[in-house]
Chains A and B, each alone.
Chain A
C-alpha cells in the first residue's frame, strides 16, 4: 500500500466521544476513496462488539467482517486528539486515547502496517510525539520508517 498521505491526517481534533473520534477517522477513509460511507457504521459496530482501544493511548478503529464489502482500497487515516478522548464503555475506567488510526484493509494488506504501528506505539514516547506533532509532515516523518 502507498505511504501515509497528508490528506489522511487530521490534527488537533476535539471529539467529545469515541463515536465521534471513529467517525472522523472513518470519514477520512471515505473522503480519500478507500471506503463507502457505510464503512463508518461498520467501524462503530466493530467497536461496540469489541473495543478498538489498544492501550498506550491509541485506538485502531476498523470495520467488521460484514463491513469489508464497503472497502474500495486499503488505506489508513490518523486523527490526532491532543487532549484525549475517552474510549471506555459506560461503567469502565477512563481509557484516554490521543491518537486514532483508522484502517480499511483488503486482502490482509493492512496487517503488516498494523503490526508495525503497534510496535511503534508500544513505546509510549512515540505516542506522545504523534499526539504533540504540530504538522502532518511531522506525523508522516515519524511513521515513515514503518511504512
Chain B
C-alpha cells in the first residue's frame, strides 16, 4: 500500500510561500507514489484541515513552515520532518525523499 503522508505548510513572511510549498509537496508526493494531504495555514486561515484520523493513519508528517504550526499537539507521537517553506518551494522532491526516509 502506498505510504501516507500528511503535511502542514505555513509562513508568516509572505502569502505565496504557503501555497507554493503545498503545491510542490502534492506534486512530488504523487510523482513518488505517495498519498498526501496538505493543510495550509495561510492568509485565509486554515484550509484543508487534517482530521485526527488522517493524522493517525499517516506514516509521516511534514511541517513545511517558517512559523509555529497551529494546534501542533494534534501531531504528538508522529514522525515529523520539519523543513522551511523556501526549501520546499525550491526542491519539493528533496523534502518528500527525506520524509520517506523517516518511514523506512
Contact = CB atoms under 8 A, between A and B. Distances in A.
Contacts, number: 51
A83 B16 contact: yes
A128 B86 contact: yes
Interface stretch (A20-28, A62-70, A91-99, A101-109): A91-99
Question: From DSSP, what is the main secondary structure of chain A's interface residues?
Answer: mixed
Given A98-B19, A124-B89, A131-B20, A83 B14 contact: no
Contacts of A128: 14, 16-17, 20, 86, 89
Contacts of A96: 19-20, 23
A132 B27 contact: no
B86 A84 contact: no
A94 B26 contact: yes
B86 A98 contact: no
A108 B2 CA distance: 49
A84 B16 contact: yes
B1 interface: no
A98 B20 CA distance: 8
B49 interface: no
Nearest to B13: A132
* 10 closest residue pairs by CB, A with B: A132-B14, A131-B16, A82-B15, A96-B23, A84-B19, A82-B16, A132-B16, A98-B16, A83-B19, A124-B89
